[in-house]
Amino acid sequence: MSADAARAAVGTLVAELGTSPPPGRLRAALRRSLRDPALEVGYWLPDLPGFVDIEGKPFDPATAETATATYVHDAHGRIGVLTHRAVAPAEAPLLDGIVSAVRLVLENERLHAESRARLMELEQRRFFTDLIVDNAPVYFAVVDGEGVLTGGINDTLLAVLGIPKTENVRDRHYWDVVCLPEDEDAARARLALVASGGAARVEETRIRSASGEPRVVEWRDTILPDERGQLKWIVRAGLDVTERNEREHELRRLIEEQAALRRVAIVVAKQASLNELVRTVAREVGELLGGHTAAVVRAEGTGIRVVDGWAAPGGRSVDAGRFVELEGVASVTARALETGSPQRLVAVDDDAGRLWQSLEINSAIAAPIFVDGEVWGAINTTRNASAEPFRAGAEEGLADMAALVALALANAAAREELNASRARIVRAGDEARRKLERDLHDGAQQRLVSLAIALRLADAHLQKSPETARGILRAASEDLAGALAELRELARGLHPAVLTDRGLGPALQVLADRAPIPVQVENGLEDRLPTAVEAAAYYVVSEALANVAKHADASAAEVRLHRVDGTAFVEVIDDGVGGAVASTGSGLRGLADRVEALGGRLRVARGAEGGTRVAAEIPCG
């Protein structure tokens, strides 16, 4: 092709393309100019960076069907590429001319391709955004200034509301679609406030749900203005906080419950009076569980007696000391006492319910209080008819309180028993001294007085009637022997000398030898025990053998004595009729006190083969 021909072809091309041809015209014109039907045009997008075709799709010159790529540049750099069949050297000027001529058009088309490419990207982004919006665990609703869902709602919210994706909600009001009927006015007001720019950004409300159980949603509102800066849309993004709130509520309830338990535990630890403890527990229970009354009651016969209680303002007053008959009454406390487990009752429309309604109570819960494995009483709390009934499971919270009351009662009982035991020990000591004084007075002292008198009498008769005097002296001598025997017996009863001198084993053997029935002593001790332990063990055996002789109707008995890891064990087992009880007989009770005063324990039970087994274990300090 000559230079002229080339110029002519380029001129035709320029005339054909003009300055702003429709997109795609360039490629057609170039194909004709270069008589190359496979020619392709690529447009350089520096942002990619890379080539795209006229549709904005990526274009790689290296993969083009034609062999040659001619790059087109302007003053700022690369703007495009032509891929075409190889041109003969003679055609090179034509190609140069064409490249120069199409530079402007190519740039125009490049901009067009760039727009398409950007549009495609935007569409991809929008698709991506829609994907996120519809699948995110967040609710979206887009309303206009009138509250109409012109922007729709996302799939997540549709699913919760139970609305099919196919249903069009875009011409309906937000509150008609999303809100609970009773919340519609509030939602209307809220959106109006948001539209006016006056609302806080975050709001927590309830919404409907397909399950029927309202969901709690924390909404964040964002205003989208139009190009004039006027409100176009309000975008509501909502986080479902139903479970979070429930967890927080549960956590708060647990914290409050723990705090209440702690406060009651402090009162328990202070060893406060039962009444103070009961009032504290009742108040804490009432306030914690939102009751209107709360009381601690003690089981008594077929009813209960109110120990004390608490009433909220508006609650019925709790009368301490009042007896309430429970027989035939549908009472939550009666149920708790019967079943031994926490109970909850909500008034229903039956006789009991109507009774409750007459008392203006709609629900009550109660938990039993156990002391020493027995039901002692219960804690209960009630709610007025004006309030919601207690939630299911509220009664479980009472059980912990009941356990604390039980602990306090057990402590008080233990303290009472300790005090009683001390008093018994003191009384027993006093009684023993009185008895000793009486024994001395009635026994040895009287005999000695009689002796003194007899000696004086003998003296008086000595001169005139020596025979009488001798008789008096003989009688006096017998009296003296009797007095000595009494003194010995008395001394032995005070404290056995053999125990002091020889220890427990020999002392128990002496007891066994004196017993009216055969008693075998099995002594496993190698060393002496502390004096107090020896004395306690000795008196356990002494009293037990005395009881065997008096009451057991036994033919034989056995005494066992041994020590394991710092604890002395002493047992007396007989083959008699059995039936002895430690808490009743004053002798055994006194022994139990003596043993318990040393930190030990005395048990009286039926023996393995009948009879009675008295067993003491005493720490050796």
Partner 1 sequence: MVTRTTAGPPTCHDAGVTSVLLVDDHASARRSIRALLEAAGYEVVGEAADGRSAIQQARELLPDVVVLDIQLPDIDGFEVAARLAENGHRPRIVLTSSRTAEDYGELIDDAPAEGFLAKDELTGEALEELLTS
Binding site for partner 1 (CB under 8 A): 441-442, 445-450, 452-454, 456-457, 460-461, 472, 479
Which two structure tokens, joined as six digits, stand for 238? 């909502």
Q: Which two tokens stand for residue 573?
A: 């087992």
* Residue written as token pair 């109970």: 343
State the helix-helix crossing angle for 394-440 and 274-289, rounded to 10 degrees: 180
Residues 6+ apart with CB under 8 A from 453: none
Question: Least distance to partner 1 from the beta carbon of 441, Å?
Answer: 7
Shorter beta-carbon distance to partner 1: residue 202 or 452: 452
- Tokens for 294, please give them: 């709360």
Q: What is the C-alpha separation between 197 and 141, in angstroms, rounded?
A: 18
Are 336 and 342 a contacting pair, CB within 8 Å? Answer: yes
Q: Return the bridge partners of 69, or none.
A: 83
Helix (H) or strand (E) run with residue 217 in it? strand 215-225
Q: What is the closest distance, in whole angstroms, from the C-beta atom of residue 468 to partner 1 in the complex? A: 9
The least CB distance from residue 276 to partner 1, in Å, is 47
Give the shortest CB-451-to-partner 1 separation in angstroms.
8
With contact defined as beta carbons under 8 Å apart, do 346 and 330 qualify?
no
Helix (H, G, I), strand (E, B) or coil at 238: strand
Q: How far is the CB of 494 from partner 1 (least distance, A)?
A: 21
Beta-bridge partners for 564: 567
**Phi then psi dihedrals of residue 144, to 5 deg:** -90, -170
* Shortest separation between residue 277's beta carbon and partner 1, angstroms: 49
Q: Which is nearer to partner 1, 172 or 461 (CB)?
A: 461
Burial of 355 (0-12, 13-18, 19+ CB in 10 A): middle
Q: Write the single-letter amino acid at 614.
A: V
- State which amino acid sits at residue 272: A
Give whichever of 169 and 472 is closer to partner 1, judged by the CB atom: 472
Distance between CA 91 and CA 3 in Å, rounded? Answer: 9
How far, in Å, are 308, 371, 578 from residue 336 at the CA level?
18, 15, 38
Q: How far is the CB of 432 from partner 1 (least distance, A)?
A: 19
* Shortest Cβ 426–partner 1 spacing (Å): 24
Q: In angstroms, what is the minimal distance from the CB of 467 to partner 1?
A: 14
Nearer to partner 1 (CB atom), residue 360 or residue 479? 479
- Closest separation between CB of residue 479 and partner 1, Å? 8
When the beta carbons of 354 and 456 are compared against partner 1, the nearer one is 456
Tokens of 16: 């054909």
Neighbours of 562 (CB within 10 A): 14
CB of 437 to partner 1, least distance (A): 10
Give whichever of 371 and 457 is closer to partner 1, judged by the CB atom: 457
Closest CB to partner 1 among residues 200, 460:
460
C-alpha distance from residue 115 to each of 57, 87, 109, 174, 492 (Å) = 11, 32, 10, 37, 123
Rounded CA separation 493/589 (Å): 19
Task: Between 320 and 455, name the residue whose CB sits nearer to partner 1.
Answer: 455
Query: Of 94, 72, 73, whose CA–CA distance to 83 is shortest?
Result: 72
Residue type, 243: E
